[in-house]
Chain A
Amino acid sequence: MIAGKTWRESCWMAVTYTLLLEVLLVPAIVLWPTLRPEAASLARMIPADFVKRLVDAITSPDSGAAYRAYMAIQMFFKGVNVVGIACAVLLGTGVVARERENQTLEFLLGRPVSRSRVLWDKYWVLALVVVVPIFLTSWSAVPLSWIIDHSLPFAAVTIAAFHNALFVLTLFTFTVLCSVLFRSQVHVAFAVGTVIVIQVGIFFVQQIRVASLFRFSDFDVYGPVLAGNVGFMQLFLASGVWLLGATVLLYLAADRAFRRMDL
């Protein structure tokens, strides 16, 4: 019943978020033939090493490889990392903090239902809302690519989508933990926003980039996957397992904090 209610409250968000991802994806695919000749001149303007690697890949003489590198940037590095994380933070912020702010939490927790059950029923529905659109839009890129006479390997797209979903899920779970710990949604958004901004900042500084969480979800991860050089197990063991572990730990911390929370 909590799951059903949570779904009804968040289904519009799922649809909007899916459409937003798709809206970003379609012009990116359609504009590729136009951008392709200009890519080399863009490359010379960029200082950081990883961006140079990225531009080198999309300027590759092999048009198929260049297109797959380009899609790794557009679909995962840019699209999901921006829109997916925004959606995850928006949804995760309210999980507990909104109930507390709206003074509905005491009514809900006064019913005969365990706190773990309340959190889990809200969590899994919203986690699906965050994750499923990543797969749907990623898969839609496969037939969309045929419009411009290119192809994307379905299996590689699925592996990249899985990894990207795991990354967004980790940030979503971190937001849920903050939603339990902080009393208002604004404080949650501020805390999570601060962490993300700092992480993005670190990512763009060459010397300290290695310390950024976004290393788990950048072009150096998705490029080789879409190029077919990295398989599922290789990617999962290299970084997916850390994301999964962090997600589980963050969820357990949120569950514990929620069970111990005083009204």
Chain B
Amino acid sequence: MSHVLEMRGVDKRYGTRPVLHGVDLHVARGEVLGFVGPNGAGKSTCLRILLGLTRRDGGAVQVHGLDPAWDSLAIRRRTAYLPGETSLYLHMRGSAFLEFALRFYAAVDLPLRRRLEELFGLPLHRRIRTYSAGMKQKLALLATLVPEVELYLLDEPDRALDATARLQLRDVLRELQRAGRTIVLSSHHLSEVEALADRLLFLHEGRVVDDARVRAVRDALRHEIRLRLEAGTPLPDGHEQVREEPDGALRVSVPGNPYAWLARIDPRRIRSAEVGDTRLEEIYKGLTEVRAP
């Protein structure tokens, strides 16, 4: 299987602060890679290096068989990029911005453009400064997904989107995936990334986290229950660890079946219960704990 992009041992530092340490990654043609990690993990820096917007300090990078340090423009002609922390030209009207952003590309998917315009329902005649954060993100997505390119690098595409818009985005990305396009997307919403990605890559403190360690942490989390009980409710036996969270909820670790353990509590005393919480924050916390000796 040919790789659309490949990074080997990539290092990057800003001044004296190291940001990436020997990052290795590769994405095959037609694959969707979910790129996850906490803020400051180096996800955006990786995407910028892939486009040649930021120079690497060490290692090798190839995108479409080209080195972004030398052939950034040729790579960008075949790649659409949605930056994570970006703003649009607020003084422009939505339609003018879209024309401006799309005119850089050799070809755009007009049916997809029409469909997305209809789906997102953006008031394109209005100036962008009057848009909500979600509307701005939809407009940025429109400008990024409509160009006909082979590779899409999307840094937090679901930022500021509501649940409906996230589902719409998921459908569009699936459609691009079916059309054989390669997609790399970073997100804080693990469920969104998992629903789409063929493969997940965790980045933590500038290092790619080993797959086996991620699996171990996620398995451990599957036995955790986040619980809110009426005051004075006793916990049944059979749990390993109880931790009180800042918001007053209890995090209980159960070695066996968490649902069977939960069933032993009087349901009228349970205010809320979440089993197998796989929020990214918990996974990151778990990864840090596993690494500590």
Residues of A that sit less than 8 Å from B by CB: 1, 5, 9, 102-104, 106-107, 109-114, 262-263
Contact = CB atoms under 8 A, between A and B. Distances in A.
Contacts of A111: 76, 101, 104-105
B259 interface: no
A9 B103 contact: no
A236 to B, nearest CB: 37
Nearest to B52: A109
Given A262-B55, A263-B54, A112 B105 contact: yes
Contact of B104 (A1, A102, A104): A1
Given A111-B101, A112-B104, A106 B76 contact: no
Residue with the highest number of chain B CB atoms closer than 10 Å, among A9, A104, A107: A107
Given A5-B100, A113-B104, A114-B73, A102 B54 contact: no
A103 B104 contact: no
Given A1-B103, A1-B104, A112 B77 contact: yes
B81 interface: yes
A263 B48 contact: yes
Contacts of A102: 87, 90
B178 interface: no
A104 B53 CA distance: 14
Contact of A103 (B48, B81, B85, B91): B85
B51 interface: yes
Interface in B96-127: 100-101, 103-105
Interface of B: 48, 51, 53-55, 73, 76-77, 81-83, 85-92, 100-101, 103-105, 140
A159 to B, nearest CB: 39
Contacts of B82: 110
Contacts, number: 53
A9 B51 CA distance: 28
28 contacts: A1-B104, A5-B89, A5-B100, A102-B90, A103-B86, A103-B87, A104-B86, A104-B88, A104-B89, A106-B48, A107-B83, A107-B87, A107-B101, A110-B51, A110-B81, A110-B83, A111-B76, A111-B104, A112-B73, A112-B76, A112-B77, A112-B104, A112-B105, A113-B104, A262-B53, A262-B54, A262-B55, A263-B54
Contacts of A9: 91
Contact of A107 (B76, B88, B90): B88
A171 B214 CA distance: 56
Contacts of B90: 102
Contacts of A5: 89, 92, 100
Nearest to B90: A102
A103 B84 CA distance: 10
Given A104-B89, A107-B88, A262-B55, 11 more contacts: A1-B103, A5-B100, A102-B90, A103-B85, A106-B48, A107-B86, A107-B101, A107-B140, A109-B53, A111-B105, A262-B53
Contacts of A103: 85-87
A107 to B, nearest CB: 5
A197 to B, nearest CB: 31
Contacts of B100: 1, 5
